[in-house]
Amino acid sequence: MDEAIEVNFDGLVGLSHTYGGLPTGNMASEQNAESLAYPKQAALQGLKKMQLLMELGLCQAVLPPQSRPAISVLKNLGFSGTTAQILQQAYLKAPSILAACFSASSMWAANAATVSPSADTADSKVHLTVANLISHLHRAIEPPTTYSILKRIFNDSQYFEIHPPIAANSQLGDEGAANHNRLCADYGKPGLEIFVYGKAGFGQSLGPKIYPARQTLEASLTVARLHKLNANKMLVLQQNPDCIDAGVFHNDVISVANQNVFFYHQDAFLAPDAISKIQQSYADTLYLLPVTSRELSIKAAVESYLFNSQLVTTQAGHMVLIAPYEAKRSAAVQKVLARILAEDNPIKEVYYVDCRESMKNGGGPACLRLRVVLTQQELAIAQKSSHVFLTPARLLQLQAWIEKHYRETLKLADLCDPLLLEENQRSLDELTQILNLGSIYDFQHE
């Protein structure tokens, strides 16, 4: 069997990184709405996290940001004239829509797509389904560009199947890998794929009362069908709606899996037998690492983003958690982690990273990456198509690109500046050359 590894594809923070308070149910984003943002700092923080993963011996790749502002969306919504006039009109008449069209939310690559490795699929291809992200305007405008990017990176149909977003409607809401876990003995062996949904799109369904459930049952089942998964090697579980109402807008805010380890809060799922179902469905050795409500409240879990840590396997063969600094500052979280590290399980270390600019918008370390399991052959094929797989030299190249193009600060009032559009397009055109991605943006075809 061809040895497989897990590649982390991190979303590069965009030049228009701001705090618009756009996503309903995302506590951090709502609380920090209209705060001063630091785009250059945000991008460099993300790059530093990628560097840490590389230093730990993991394969690291990057996904480019999307072109913003989305002028075509503003035109579709009735704003007209020159670019400057369109931006000014939107700023005065519909500032929330303008903020949505400037959003750099594609940085949270965990929402880009759902991924199934070739070991799990009936046709032995890697399957990626681009998420439709229909719950919010600022996310719903991302899928076409995401699809273009993924098609460019994984462009050999013999090995990869890239599915466009499923039908975009509320009954089929799909938010990607943020609601998907995979358990396996080794990355290259068949695993158990766990899909987590917030509500059923059709019929009566117990769901959250305050905030929207972004992932539907039907969307998860559709993705599983598209990926040609064995029905005996997958589970579909409902997230606890009370957790959603407490700010757990995606399952990756309340649980994380890696190989044969599942780290989760005891209140993560609605069904009391959810963990038993996982145990029954997974035949190999499994390390279950529950955290009780007495140890850590849901509120504290959301504030610290403990479960939004990256759980990865290093070259040395043990696992580490890549946690946000916010987790380090929580006494309750520190007690939990001390217990986890003292127990007999594969997690041996915790590394803390500064991703504060992302955290203020509700995205921790795990939100920033899309996990893609590839065999050595699949990796070699993908590496031929672009330069998104990072090397130390390419990391320095990206750092210099960020230093050259990004603004130090950005506030919502700056969004009516037409120079932002010019800066964005000029820099992204240069980035596609660095990453050898070709003309993936609409403006490059004009």
Q: Which of 101, 243, 355, 367 is the catalytic position?
A: 367
Active site residue 250: yes
Q: Decide: 433 and 407 in contact? Cβ < 8 Å.
A: no
Active site residue 175: yes
Name beta bridge partners: 196. 237
Active site residue 367: yes
Q: Decide: 103 and 116 in contact? Cβ < 8 Å.
A: no
Q: How far is residue 280's CA from residue 276's CA, in Å, rounded to a whole number? A: 6
Q: How far is residue 317's CA from residue 260's CA, in Å, rounded to a whole number? A: 13
Q: What SS3 state is found at 2? A: coil
Q: Which of 127, 138, 227, 250 is the catalytic position?
A: 250
164 to 90, 116, 372: CA distances (angstroms): 30, 15, 17
52 to 312, 346, 414: CA distances (angstroms): 12, 19, 33
Query: What does the block give as tokens for 136?
Result: 């919010």
Quote the strand ranges of 229-377, DSSP E.
234-238, 255-258, 261-265, 287-291, 310-313, 319-324, 347-353, 369-375
Amino acid at 444: Q
At residue 243, φ and ψ (nearest 5 deg) are -70, -40
Q: Which of 6, 142, 161, 175 is the catalytic position?
A: 175
User: How many CB atoms within 10 Å of residue 403?
Assistant: 11
Q: Decide: 259 and 313 in contact? Cβ < 8 Å.
A: yes
Active-site residues, by number, are 175, 250, 367
